[in-house]
Homo-oligomer: A and B are copies of this chain.
């Protein structure tokens, strides 16, 4: 039997690009967690003919169809009519939803217009899915071989009906067994290299899949294991994780929900260390990332964004000779900035970033994308130079992540 799932979102505001369709991704994520495989996600206009064609395609290729949108009170809202037509029944007013609307309108002193009645209709014979967050009820109908669930497009109402009414019904349908997921967060290795190193990792293993995602300049790899036996799923995932770690080594900085700044915070806490930052081309981005972590004030003392050379000299003690002889974007300047901010703040480690974010300011010797990062601390001062060709925002992101990596690895046996 066909086990595809289709999500259909209806509305001109989607096909004109006025809003981003977050309902589809919400439903897809929840369905995946329940063990369903979403194969199709379709958006179509409010036009009745388009809705009809979309539903006809869906009922041919999916056994489960989730529909969002087109259940409102206006003439534009035609979802109930089209579904009723395809199911060979009439739309009819749902008495409990009507009673709720009358009661609510009465309380607020509103008059019921004929259009309002449109909003409380369902196809005759449909199973009604009460809406505890709004007026239009959801409903469930049989559509050929497929089971169809319809919800309003307002995200708050859709989520409420899905959680209250649809999820419990779907749980009863899911195949016995369990899904276990592990996500690796990777920095310092490109997607094609990760893929190369993990080649064959999951081949020939039933129910196992591997998924890649770029979150520039980081990468994510997700392992998914499905097994009838939850304990076996756990064990198999554990074995795969061990193997993936052996192949990717320290390029994995964290798993599941841990962000790179949070992993850096974990390292600093583990060392009982404090941090000070001296940023030039990143302009404050490293501080913004570091302070994205709740509780970062425990280890982050201060930052200096020394955009001008005067600030580098006056606040960080960079020597005028260094700036004159080698310029602000140089190894020597980055080292002096790191040491300077460490001393200024009395921090365990000081980290500095200097570079040319572009689009202007590049020279043949120091092209746009030239980045110097330095870290000063109890194990000495270290430096790294990078060259990244990209736009201003990308160069800033690459430089900021290189700085995070310098902190993350400072105490490593082989940094």
Contacts and interface: CB of A to CB of B under 8 A. Distances in A.
Interface of A: 12-22, 24-32, 37-45, 47, 50, 53-54, 57, 61, 72-76, 104, 107-108, 110, 113, 115-116, 119, 133, 154, 156, 190-193, 195-196, 209, 211-214, 216, 222, 277, 279, 281-288, 290-292, 294-297, 300-308, 310-311, 315, 344-346, 357-360, 387, 389, 391-393, 396
Q: Taking chain A's interface residues, is the majority helix, strand, or loop, or is none over half, making it mixed?
A: mixed
A345 to B, nearest CB: 7
B305 A311 contact: no
A360 B294 contact: yes
A323 to B, nearest CB: 14
A329 B156 CA distance: 27
13 contacts: A12-B211, A15-B28, A18-B211, A21-B21, A104-B389, A154-B214, A277-B305, A283-B300, A287-B287, A287-B305, A301-B311, A303-B304, A303-B305
Nearest to A212: B74
Given A284-B303, A297-B308, 16 more contacts: A17-B31, A17-B38, A19-B25, A19-B213, A20-B22, A38-B45, A72-B191, A72-B212, A76-B212, A281-B291, A284-B291, A291-B396, A302-B305, A303-B305, A304-B305, A315-B315
A27 B17 contact: yes
B311 A74 contact: no
A307 B315 contact: no
A25 B43 CA distance: 10
Contacts of A156: 216
Identify which of A31, A43, A113, A190 gathers the most chain B CB atoms within 10 Å of its CB. A43
Q: Looking at A14, A21, A216, which has the most chain B CB atoms within 10 Å of its CB?
A: A21
A117 to B, nearest CB: 10
Contacts of A29: 16-18
Contacts of A17: 24-32, 38
Contacts of A47: 39
Contacts of A40: 15, 42-44, 50, 54
Contacts of A392: 292, 294
B283 A287 contact: yes
A213 B75 contact: no
Given A40-B43, A116-B192, A295-B360, A18 B283 contact: no
A43 B16 contact: no
Contacts of A358: 294
B41 A43 contact: yes
Contacts of A50: 39-40
Residue picked from A14, A291, A359, A396, most chain B C-beta under 10 Å: A291
Contact of A285 (B20, B190, B288): B288
Contacts of A359: 294
A156 B45 CA distance: 27
A346 B190 CA distance: 44
Contacts of A41: 14-15, 21, 42-44
Contacts of A346: 310
Contacts of A20: 20-22, 25
A357 B119 CA distance: 27
